[in-house]
Amino acid sequence: MSRPSSFVLATILIAFLALYGGLPYLKHGLYLDIHEGDTYHLLDILFRMSEGAVPHEDFMTPLGVVAFAPFLAFMNAGHSAGMSIIFGQLVVGLILLPIAVYAARTRLSRPVGLYFGLLVVGLAVALTYGGAKAGIAISMFYNRWAWAIAFLVVVLAFIPPAKEDRAGLESALIGVLCGALLMLKVTYFVAVVPAIAVALFARCRLKGILVATLAGGVVLAIATAWLGVAYWPGYLGDLRVVSNNELRPNVGVPFNVILSGPGFIGGTFVLAFSVFCLRKTGHDSLAVALLVLAPGLIFITYQNFGNDPMWLWLMPVLLLSLRPGAAQSQVYGFDARRVMEMTAVVALALNFPSLYKSTLSNLDHMAFSEATFVDMLPEGDQGAQDIFVRKGRAYTMTAEVDLDRTMPDWSKYSDAVEREPLKEIGGTVIDACEWRAGVLGYMETIAERLQADGVAEGSQLFVTDVVTSLHFFGPFEPLKGGAPWYYGELSGLENADYVVVPKCAVSTRYRGVMIDELAASDARLEPVSENALYVLLAVNFSR
């Protein structure tokens, strides 16, 4: 099996990264047609951090600092947020590129190595969160980065090198990558590390695990020196809140559907059959390692929004690289080599629509007409950030309303479908109304009305919704200790001057949970004003 040339492969990947990853730069900004709410959350975090705020200490987030550092570096250098995101993704691709080249040169054939390198680099710079129907978005970029890092770790740990065995160096590299996963998104670290430990133990025994652990420890020591010791208790506390909150442990279909639902059962079969193939072809330890990895891959899919099983893109790399020589072994009477090749094709085909959509994302972004987009942020100190949203998403004020709970003519049907009672706060019943679009118009209008209602400049607002960045559109301050995306426990309420309860919310589910938590808290909420847009309440605490 011919190995790829490091020089040739690196040249191809650098050219791909420059052309594919550089397309958004040629567009002179980010043009997004979905998930603008997630983009406001990211901007909120980046602006806070650029002013000195530290994640987990000054605001709540379940993500590690590595998720924001590449963007923040460029913002601190004076670039707009849009350009910083584009450059940050390119930097991540450049960091992962030599590792992908090394993994391919030492383990993979030329076509498989090229596919693997393009996969890793492409995940770093794509402009979609995944899925066959996904639009252009920067949302959940950290999931793409974490998949790319996890793919590198699995290939380095699972597939033995063809010639020279640099177990110590590779174990150290695996430890650094696992440390990066911990500092990026803990879900991937927890899901991948047990299987990596099994694979390392099979290859280089306890020495490999020890070296990887020490290398990962160095990463954490550097992070502690940079962020301070208090970073870690805060990180663990935020993770505890998220894991215990009813809104966030999973953000899609139930776990049993991920395991055996019609859209996922094929992937489960591929995983199980791949374990069987490795066992039948003499890779006993790797079969155990893949069996340990399988629940982690399924859990990541369950926990990520969109439930996109991107791990299927890695299976062809494992299967094609670990297949035996011709006629060396059989599976159910068939040539094992051919069986593993066919399984690799099936794995790729099962999630090819998502791979295809991800590949096209930067090209689709380039084809957008700028005339159909508007700035996501108003003019001002944080304006001109080179991030735009489609007008139809920004200003189409379309909402979903439960008519049986708002119009007497239909109220008789509420009992038939067992509707929950409407929420009440400050003596006002809040109707079930949820925005389908129009997030930009929603925040602009509410911010204007709050100023008209006399909310003072510099006030901090606790907003009972999933999109809370009203301070981008009015003279308000970010809520200290609050979460740009709500995770539970009324984070930041102790610093709020007012609670804003929108009559129509981006998420009625989030609004309802927050209203219930407010009712159970020791905060004394005093009604200030009410209009068609919101209920405004002053915050006081009983001592």
Residue 487: pLDDT band (50, 70, 90) is confident
Residue 220 CA to residue 228 CA, distance in Å, equals: 11
* pLDDT recorded at residue 543: 46
- Would the pLDDT of 82 be above 80? yes
Residue 352 CA to residue 413 CA, distance in Å, equals: 43
* pLDDT recorded at residue 542: 60
- Would the pLDDT of 313 be above 80? yes
For the chain, give the percent of residues with pLDDT over 90: 79
* pLDDT recorded at residue 385: 85
The most confident of the ranges 163-177, 235-249, 309-323, 331-345 is: 309-323
- Would the pLDDT of 494 be above 90? yes
Which among 472, 468, 477 has a CA at the least distance from the CA of 514?
468
* pLDDT recorded at residue 381: 55
Residue 384: pLDDT band (50, 70, 90) is low
Residue 208: pLDDT band (50, 70, 90) is confident
Residue 261: pLDDT band (50, 70, 90) is very high
Q: In Å, how far from its chain's centre is CA 166?
A: 33
pTM value is 0.95
| Tens of pLDDT, residues 30-41 | 999 999 999 999
* pLDDT recorded at residue 357: 95
- Would the pLDDT of 268 be above 70? yes
**Least confidently predicted of 147-156, 239-248, 333-342, 448-457:** 239-248
| Tens of pLDDT, residues 45-56 | 999 999 999 999
* pLDDT recorded at residue 250: 62
Query: What's the mean pLDDT in 134-139?
Result: 91
As beta bridge partners, residue 527 has 537
Q: In Å, how far from its chain's centre is CA 215?
A: 25
* pLDDT recorded at residue 134: 79
Two tokens, residue 443:
């925040």
CB neighbour list of residue 190: distance below 8 Å, 6 or more residues apart: 296
For the beta carbon of residue 412, count every other beta carbon within 10 angstroms: 9
Residue 196 CA to residue 293 CA, distance in Å, equals: 8
DSSP code of residue 63: B
Query: What's the mean pLDDT in 251-266?
Result: 90
DSSP code of residue 422: P
Residue 428 CA to residue 533 CA, distance in Å, equals: 12
Query: What's the mean pLDDT in 181-206?
Result: 92
Q: Give the CB-side neighbour count of residue 379, counting CA atoms within 13 A.
A: 0
Mean pLDDT of the chain: 92
Max intra-chain CA distance, the chain: 81
| Block residue for tokens 């995101």 | 85
Q: In Å, how far from its chain's centre is CA 442?
A: 25
Query: What's the mean pLDDT in 463-468?
Result: 95
If you count them, how many residues does the chain have?
A: 543
- Would the pLDDT of 110 be above 50? yes
**Least confidently predicted of 239-248, 357-366, 429-438, 474-483:** 239-248
